[in-house]
Amino acid sequence: MTTNFFIPELNNHDVQELWFQQDGATCHTARATIDLLKDTLGDRLISRFGPVNWPPRSCDLTPLDYFLWGLCKVIGLCV
């Protein structure tokens, strides 16, 4: 999917200022995947083994998850 869809789609857009962040799933952090993304994005890759390391469960990484979970608990939608 990365080679056949994602990279060609990136080439259709101006990605000079784009930063890409991914989770720490094993298949997403395979050496071949990271190397491909580094070649495409350079230093603008936020990943477990990328140039910019970001913890997979950082509250800064997924603010909507934390906001929505807190809201659901407050209004009683989540058990």
Q: Report the predicted TM-score, pTM, of the whole model to 2 decimal places.
A: 0.61
User: What is the distance between the alpha carbons of residues 63 and 79, in angstroms, rounded to a whole number?
Assistant: 20
For residue 6, the model assigns a pLDDT of: 85
73 vs 18: which has the higher pLDDT: 18
Q: Is the dihedral of CA 13, 19, 39, 9 positive or negative?
A: negative
Task: Please tell me whether residue 20 adopts helix, strand or coil conformation.
Answer: strand
pLDDT greater than 60 at residue 14: yes
For residue 57, the model assigns a pLDDT of: 61
Band (18; pLDDT cuts 50, 70, 90)? confident
The residue to which tokens 């970001």 are assigned: 54
Residue 52 sits at the vertex; the CA angle it makes with 24 and 14, to the nearest 5 degrees, is 100
If one counts every other C-beta atom within 10 angstroms of the C-beta of residue 45, the result is 20
pLDDT tens sequence across 20-71: 877 767 777 788 888 988 888 888 888 878 888 776 566 555 556 656 666 7
